[in-house]
Chains A and B, each alone.
Chain A
Amino acid sequence: MITQEHLGYRAVGRRSDFPAGLGRTVRLGNLELAVFHTTDGELFALENRTPHPKGGTLSEAIVSGHFIYCPLRDLKINLEDGRVQAPDTGFAQAYPVRITEGIVEIDVIRLTDED
């Protein structure tokens, strides 16, 4: 079973560090995230790894509304929950983002897989 542990919000930069309509890679210790700045001004964070079995990163995706298109194999992924849209399946871990006085903060979740 996979359990989620919230380690709290960490500041990762200012809103202006994230180009509008695009993604940017953020490394937080061992964790690599793809942070997207959507055209409505919101920010979303996903684990920077495509759910496709052949692997690859996500931060170079094309952004459309609250969806992205995986840069390597065109999977369509919902930024709000990380879910891959049909016909493909799978999901990328999503991390909550909030903005406090112009500073972008990401809730670091640690996933543990205890069998």
Chain B
Amino acid sequence: MNDMAKKRKLILIGNGMAGVNVLEQLLKISNAFDISVYGDEPYPNYNRIQLSYVLEGSKTLDDIILNSREWYEENGIELHVGSRIVRIDTDKKLVYTSAGDAAEYDALIIATGSKPFILPIPGAGKKGVIGFRDIADCQTMIEASRRVKQAAVIGGGLLGLEAAKGLTQLGMETTVVHLMDTLMERQLDETAGGMLKAELERQGIRFLMGKRTTEVLGGEEVAGIRFEDGTELDAQLLVMSAGIVPNIELAQSSGIETGRGIKVNDYMETSAPDVYAVGECCEHRNVCYGLVAPLFEQGAVLAKVLCGAQTAPYEGSSVSTKLKISGVDVFSAGEYTDRPEHRVLRVHDGWRGLYKKVLLRDKRFVGAVLYGDVTDAPLLARLIREGADMTEELYQELFGGGQSSAQGCCGGGKTSIVQGMPDDEIVCGCNGVTKGDIVRVIQEDGFTTVDEIKAKTGATRSCGGCKPLVEQLLQYVLGDGYQDKGGGKKQGICGCTTHTRDEIVVAIREKRLTSVREVMMVMEWEQAEGCSKCRPALNYYLGMIWPAEREDERESRFVNERLHANIQKDGTYSVIPRMYGGVTTPEQLRQIADAADKYNAKMVKVTGGQRIDLLGIEKKDLPAIWEELGMPSGYGYAKALRTVKTCVGSRFCRFGTQDSVGMGILLEKKFERLWMPAKFKMAVNGCPRNCAESGTKDLGIVGNDGGWEVYVGGNGGIRMKEAELLCKVKTDEELIELCGAFIQYYRETGNYAERTSDWLERLGLEQVKKAVVDDLELRKQLIERVELALAGLRDPWREVTENEKLQRQLYQAIEVTAE
């Protein structure tokens, strides 16, 4: 409390996504500010890009609120809603509200957003003429739909079409009036625009193309519009959606430099000292953005600038467009109209309604338009942004082979195993689902994907080991029908999204997303807060990509990784301390024995990984037993390095050629605590007799007279697999380097929950060899990145024993005594 006086005063004008995002990013790295927020609208911050869902009725206002009033309270932010700032005194560093109050600032963020462009035509001020921009507009539209029948939307761009769709959904006869002959003509070519129009007409929207509106008709309220050619259209509600205008009046009248928007440099600084601007109100390098993605990138830079941290400059965003109308998939990026100088690659399938066009200049990707199937959108967005060259591989991936690059792991003739299986044989051993159960839902419910079968029967839900069998059953029952579906329809990482792991990882990097919620928002998750599948996965990917900057999100972790102990079926926990290389001391054993006694361990067991497990510990006792043990966490509950199993080696064994114990301890100490896609087990052996069983480890090392052999991708669990020889090395130093590079390569390319055995099968040993062994430059980079990730790790048990609030909130129950 004493440092309150030293805090800097930060004022945010505009309580929308752009401004609040800056605060969220700032709060993650600093608590040096006293923050006040002034917002025009009488609501907390909500997700403006989802207004179209509110309009079409698939979401309520509450669903799209991003920051509840409690969020502001909990973070000590003073929120003034319905309060307008009318003047900024940039010399005295004061802002004035419309009520005449003044407030001082040390730093000021302007995030006033934009407003719809209202055509300057006679009658534009009549009642019933609105934009589509905020909750009030939505409410006006919903109300109007109850009273009147006909609506007109001026503007056939992204927002106009979303508004029209919503109004149609509300039961209104809706006509879109567009000045041009092609819809979304700033993103689509004629073909895609035409396909889009046909589909929307099928969904009930009417169109008047090539029409210039010259007058709004009616008395006090709008009754219709008149066009340049003299024709008229009846409408009792008129939505103007012909573009947006940045809100710059406040900045302008306060003497801050403006153009179309408020001018900012690469650090989001305006012309006035300590005044910044972000989002749709600002103009950066002559560009005003009207989409959501750039504001996260701008926010990340500004948060760092505010607290004086080092940051790369904001150099502009490459924007691509997606339409948010159900049943219509449209994507566009870069140049979209083909000209003579372009090389045009085009596929147009009028039967299935698919269109794909890629524009190259020489070999370079410069633009793309997709309609119907947007699977390749993230890849194309990246290629265009980077100005990449077309290669034979890329061509194959985008246009070749027929099948998309999805996980086509089932070949043609693999159905024989399931064919001969009796109906009552169990396919999913975890959930007791038989072949008969699965065949029945495929036939009776018409299911065609593993996910649907999972949702109905539970098969594949727990360990996932039976997924290949379920896939084969699908193929067996559906025949060719399965291949078609599997090839054409991609599956997202869970039921909340259609995005694949690779698309998500690219988006996190490119859009600089730093929290689970940002990913879900930008990538338009169907379940706003995700599920038990995607939340931990996103948390992992974020931590892998931003090891230094980002704080782990406890609430997105499974119970075991959140509490750093393994929950058992009776609600007690197991405690496994580190015992490096499986080596212990009498003193350590005494400590363990004492702790087991004191906290009533129900069982003391030697684990398969050469250490000791104390079972049956009460949750409330966990911090105390850790303190008592005085040993670091063994991570026996986590997707991380579990154990390094060793044999005795040259220190005692008469066959030993290498010091396996010494190397095992060294490797365990080096790589402990590192988060991985899945659990990770290692072994180090002193001779080829391999007593510590390297063949079933994720990373197994076998010593011999001249050095070490490195085996990878073994598994002794759900699906037995023998490890493969990655390489041989001569020195200890090179061994340690190789282990680091291998681990980091797995961390960066593995799917969440994918063990190295499946990962290696997917990538192929050759690719892994190339990256980790052959390419020395890449190896060096991998090592640098793994070192960076390792640098930020601390023992989680210590973290808890030193933090009373954590102990209370996570481990202790609230006891209310009976009256």
Across the interface, do A40 and B68 meet the contact criterion of CB distance under 8 Å? yes
What 1/0 mask marks residues of chain B from 113 to 131 whose CB sits below 8 Å from any chain A CB? 0000000000000000000
Does B569 lie at the interface of the complex (its beta carbon under 8 Å from any beta carbon of A)?
yes
Does A96 lie at the interface of the complex (its beta carbon under 8 Å from any beta carbon of B)?
no
A16 to B73, CA, bound (A): 11
A10 to B814, CA, bound (A): 13
Across the interface, do B813 and A24 meet the contact criterion of CB distance under 8 Å? yes
What 1/0 mask marks residues of chain B from 453 to 477 whose CB sits below 8 Å from any chain A CB? 0011110011000000000000000
Across the interface, do B809 and A26 meet the contact criterion of CB distance under 8 Å? no
Within B771-819, which residues are at the interface with A (CB < 8 Å)?
809-810, 813-818
User: Beyond A40-B62, A41-B71, A87-B455, is A25–B530 a contact (Cβ under 8 Å)?
Assistant: no
Q: Which of B69, B562, B814, B818 contacts A13 (CB 8 A)?
A: B814
A28 to B814, CA, bound (A): 8
Does B554 lie at the interface of the complex (its beta carbon under 8 Å from any beta carbon of A)?
yes
Q: Which of A12, A22, A72 contacts B569 (CB 8 A)?
A: A72
A51 to B535, CA, bound (A): 23
> Which residues of B have CB within 8 Å of A15?
70
User: Beyond A19-B809, A60-B559, is A65–B567 a contact (Cβ under 8 Å)?
Assistant: no
Does B424 lie at the interface of the complex (its beta carbon under 8 Å from any beta carbon of A)?
no
Does B570 lie at the interface of the complex (its beta carbon under 8 Å from any beta carbon of A)?
yes
Q: Which of B65, B563, B569, B619 contacts A40 (CB 8 A)?
A: B65
Across the interface, do B527 and A64 meet the contact criterion of CB distance under 8 Å? yes
A39 to B458, CA, bound (A): 28
Residue picked from B530, B571, B619, B818, most chain A C-beta under 10 Å:
B571
Task: Tell me the nearest residue of chain A to B563, going by C-beta.
Answer: A60
Across the interface, do A56 and B554 meet the contact criterion of CB distance under 8 Å? no
Across the interface, do A22 and B813 meet the contact criterion of CB distance under 8 Å? no
Across the interface, do B569 and A63 meet the contact criterion of CB distance under 8 Å? no
User: Beyond A62-B532, A62-B555, is A55–B569 a contact (Cβ under 8 Å)?
Assistant: yes
> Which residues of A have CB within 8 Å of B444?
none
> Which residues of A have CB within 8 Å of B536?
62
Residue picked from A27, A32, A40, A63, most chain B C-beta under 10 Å:
A40
Q: Which of B458, B571, B813 contacts A88 (CB 8 A)?
A: B458
A11 to B816, CA, bound (A): 8
Does B388 lie at the interface of the complex (its beta carbon under 8 Å from any beta carbon of A)?
no
Does B587 lie at the interface of the complex (its beta carbon under 8 Å from any beta carbon of A)?
no
Q: Which of B456, B457, B567, B816 contacts A72 (CB 8 A)?
A: B567
Across the interface, do B554 and A26 meet the contact criterion of CB distance under 8 Å? no
Closest CB in chain B relative to A40 CB, distance in Å: 5
> Which residues of A have CB within 8 Å of B567?
56, 60, 71-72
Within A78-113, which residues are at the interface with B (CB < 8 Å)?
86-88
What 1/0 mask marks residues of chain B from 27 to 67 whose CB sits below 8 Å from any chain A CB? 00000000000000000000000000000000000100100
> Which residues of A have CB within 8 Å of B558?
62, 71
Task: Tell me the nearest residue of chain A to B573, going by C-beta.
Answer: A60
Across the interface, do B535 and A64 meet the contact criterion of CB distance under 8 Å? yes
Task: Tell me the nearest residue of chain B to A16, going by C-beta.
Answer: B74
> Which residues of B have CB within 8 Å of A87?
455-458
Closest CB in chain A relative to B440 CB, distance in Å: 13
> Which residues of A have CB within 8 Å of B559?
60-61, 71
A13 to B809, CA, bound (A): 12
What 1/0 mask marks residues of chain A from 38 to 73 whose CB sits below 8 Å from any chain B CB? 011100000000000011110011111100010111
Residue picked from B455, B809, B810, most chain A C-beta under 10 Å:
B809
Across the interface, do A41 and B69 meet the contact criterion of CB distance under 8 Å? yes
Does B556 lie at the interface of the complex (its beta carbon under 8 Å from any beta carbon of A)?
yes
Q: Which range contains the number of A residues in contact with the other chain? A: 35 or more
A19 to B813, CA, bound (A): 12
Q: Which of B527, B532, B816 contacts A65 (CB 8 A)?
A: B527
A63 to B562, CA, bound (A): 13
Closest CB in chain A relative to B450 CB, distance in Å: 14
User: Beyond A60-B562, A62-B535, A74-B462, is A21–B555 a contact (Cβ under 8 Å)?
Assistant: yes
Closest CB in chain A relative to B569 CB, distance in Å: 6
Q: Which of A55, A65, A74 contacts B529 (CB 8 A)?
A: A65
> Which residues of A have CB within 8 Å of B556?
62
Closest CB in chain A relative to B539 CB, distance in Å: 11
Across the interface, do B816 and A27 meet the contact criterion of CB distance under 8 Å? yes
Closest CB in chain A relative to B14 CB, distance in Å: 22
A54 to B455, CA, bound (A): 20
Does B531 lie at the interface of the complex (its beta carbon under 8 Å from any beta carbon of A)?
yes
A62 to B538, CA, bound (A): 14
Task: Tell me the nearest residue of chain B to A25, going by C-beta.
Answer: B813
A22 to B559, CA, bound (A): 10
Across the interface, do B527 and A26 meet the contact criterion of CB distance under 8 Å? no
Does B506 lie at the interface of the complex (its beta carbon under 8 Å from any beta carbon of A)?
no
> Which residues of B have CB within 8 Å of A64?
527-532, 535
A34 to B10, CA, bound (A): 38
A40 to B676, CA, bound (A): 31
A10 to B813, CA, bound (A): 16
Across the interface, do B555 and A26 meet the contact criterion of CB distance under 8 Å? no
Task: Tell me the nearest residue of chain A to B456, going by C-beta.
Answer: A87
> Which residues of B have CB within 8 Å of A25?
619, 813-814
> Which residues of B have CB within 8 Å of A71?
558-559, 567
User: Beyond A19-B809, A63-B555, A69-B531, is A27–B65 a contact (Cβ under 8 Å)?
Assistant: no
Q: Which of B531, B562, B816 contacts A12 (CB 8 A)?
A: B816
Across the interface, do A54 and B569 meet the contact criterion of CB distance under 8 Å? yes
Closest CB in chain B relative to A37 CB, distance in Å: 9
Task: Tell me the nearest residue of chain B to A32, going by C-beta.
Answer: B813
Across the interface, do B462 and A26 meet the contact criterion of CB distance under 8 Å? no
A17 to B619, CA, bound (A): 17
> Which residues of A have CB within 8 Å of B814?
12-13, 17, 24-27, 35
> Which residues of B have CB within 8 Å of A20?
70, 74, 555
A25 to B567, CA, bound (A): 15
> Which residues of B have CB within 8 Å of A73?
462
Closest CB in chain A relative to B711 CB, distance in Å: 34
Residue picked from A11, A16, A24, A87, most chain B C-beta under 10 Å:
A87
Residue picked from A21, A61, A62, A86, most chain B C-beta under 10 Å:
A62
Task: Tell me the nearest residue of chain B to A58, going by C-beta.
Answer: B571
Within B501-525, which residues are at the interface with A (CB < 8 Å)?
none
Closest CB in chain A relative to B621 CB, distance in Å: 14
A98 to B141, CA, bound (A): 34
Closest CB in chain A relative to B343 CB, distance in Å: 46
> Which residues of B have CB within 8 Å of A17?
809, 814
Within B667-718, which residues are at the interface with A (CB < 8 Å)?
none
> Which residues of A have CB within 8 Å of B71?
39, 41
Task: Tell me the nearest residue of chain B to A30, going by C-beta.
Answer: B818
A60 to B532, CA, bound (A): 12
> Which residues of A have CB within 8 Å of B532?
62, 64, 69, 74
Closest CB in chain A relative to B464 CB, distance in Å: 12
Q: Which of A27, A29, A39, A62 contacts B813 (CB 8 A)?
A: A27
Closest CB in chain A relative to B317 CB, distance in Å: 28
A64 to B556, CA, bound (A): 9
Within B206-243, which residues are at the interface with A (CB < 8 Å)?
none
Q: Which of B529, B531, B535, B816 contacts A28 (CB 8 A)?
A: B816
7 residue pairs bridging A and B, Cβ less than 8 Å apart? A11-B816, A21-B555, A22-B555, A22-B809, A27-B813, A32-B813, A64-B532
Q: Pick the 10 closest A-B CB pairs, nearest first.
A: A41-B70, A21-B555, A69-B532, A25-B813, A60-B559, A29-B818, A64-B529, A41-B68, A71-B559, A57-B571
Q: Chain A residues in contact with chain B, CB under 8 A?
A: 10-13, 15-22, 24-29, 32, 35, 39-41, 54-57, 60-65, 69, 71-74, 76, 86-88
